[in-house]
Amino acid sequence: MTALLEGRTAIVTGAAQGIGLAIATTLVGHGARVTIADLDGAKAEAAAAAIGPAARGVACDVTSEESVAALVAGAVAEYGGLDVIVNNAGITRDASLKKMTLENFRAVITVHLQGTWLGIRAASEVMREAKRGSIINISSMSGKSGNPGQTNYSAAKAGIVGMTKAAAKELAHHGVRVNAIQPGLIRTPMTEAMTPEAYAATEATIPMRRAGEPEEIANVVAFLASDLSSYMTGAVLEVSGGRGM
């Protein structure tokens, strides 16, 4: 039996660590060749070297139009095409409305919304020509339910849902599918920055009574990246252990 993603090529942004790294590792495990893109280029290269020859690491700032254009052009030049992009890069700048600065707000909106939009636009140009492709955007349950201290992040992650559906409607007849995933609480460096009290309080609200592992998001990405999900577009999949259903 051939591997699920044999012959496919993918880009994963923000993939030097956490969920993105698990996604890149899983896609390679299913037979894809993957470009690991991250703000931290050295870390992206080290991650790719650890995965093996089917991965390459590059520096990319998803907020920069030039950087994202170079990322997509480089992946196409290296692998001869682009079948999958996972817009995963993200940051948090949590604060109450009382304490959040405009800079905190803008930074989060820019990385998530502008970054995802630039990724969708650049990748879809290549995919539209090829008449096939799968774009996967990483939203969050915060975008569905809203989290106190995350007015910036919740807005950005809800925005990714609207962007996913609009792009899905534009690109469906070109053979390009666009879907989103809303992870719940996942154990990564991002959530390790939470206080133990906040982490425990969040875990207690999860029906499955545990945080998820990055691989549990990566497996759903592999499904959306592959032909197993060939009739799905504009879908938003909650991967949250039941939290926020």
**Active-site residue numbers?**
153
Which amino acid makes up residue 106?
A: R
- d(CA 41, CA 211) in angstroms, rounded, equals 29
Q: Which part of the chain contacts ligand NAD (CB under 6 A), choosing from 11-19, 76-84, 96-104, 128-136?
A: 11-19
120 binds ligand NAD (CB under 6 A): no
The DSSP code for 16 is S
Work out which of 9, 11, 12, 18 binds ligand NAD, going by CB under 6 A: 18
138 binds ligand NAD (CB under 6 A): yes
Angle of helix 65-79 relative to helix 115-130, nearest 10 degrees, comes to 30
- The DSSP bridge partners found for residue 212 are 186
Query: Among 67, 69, 71, which residue's Cα sits nearest to residue 57?
Result: 71
Query: Among 11, 58, 1, 2, which residue's Cα sits nearest to residue 31?
Result: 2
135 binds ligand NAD (CB under 6 A): no
206 binds ligand NAD (CB under 6 A): no
Residues 151 to 190 in contact with ligand NAD, rule: CB under 6 A: 183, 185-186, 188-190
Residue nearest to ligand NAD (CB): 18
Instruction: Give me the residues that bind ligand NAD (CB under 6 A), please.
Output: 13-14, 16-20, 38-40, 60-63, 88-91, 111, 115, 138, 140, 183, 185-186, 188-191
